Amino acid sequence: MKTTVELPDQLLIEAKKRAAELRVPLKSIIEESLRSGLRKLAEADRLREEPAEYGVVWSGRLDIDLPNQFRERMGIDEKTRFTAIVRGDHLVLTPITAAYIRSLRGMLEGGGGLDELIRMRREEP
Inside any domain, residue 3: no
- My answer on whether 78 and 36 are in the same domain is no
- My answer on whether 36 and 60 are in the same domain is no
- My answer on whether 60 and 19 are in the same domain is no
Distances 66 to 42, 55, 86 between C-alpha atoms, Å: 30, 22, 20
Q: In angstroms, rounded to a whole number, what is the distance separating the alpha carbons of residues 115 and 42?
A: 34
Q: What are residue 94's DSSP bridge partners?
A: 83
- My answer on whether 81 and 117 are in the same domain is yes
- My answer on whether 45 and 60 are in the same domain is no
Provide the CA 71 distance to its chain's centre, in angstroms: 18
Inside any domain, residue 81: yes
Provide the CA 26 distance to its chain's centre, in angstroms: 31
Q: In angstroms, rounded to a whole number, what is the distance separating the alpha carbons of residues 85 and 56?
A: 7
- My answer on whether 36 and 67 are in the same domain is no
- My answer on whether 44 and 62 are in the same domain is no
- My answer on whether 60 and 43 are in the same domain is no
Q: What φ, ψ does residue 111 adopt, rounded to 5°?
A: 70, 5
Nearest Cα to 84, choosing from 74, 96, 72? 96
The pLDDT tens digits for 78-104 are 788 888 887 777 788 888 888 888 777
- My answer on whether 43 and 80 are in the same domain is no
The pLDDT tens digits for 12-70 are 999 999 999 999 999 999 999 889 888 888 877 776 666 665 556 665 565 777 888 98
Structural domain that includes position 22: 9-49
The pLDDT tens digits for 11-20 are 999 999 999 9
Inside any domain, residue 113: yes
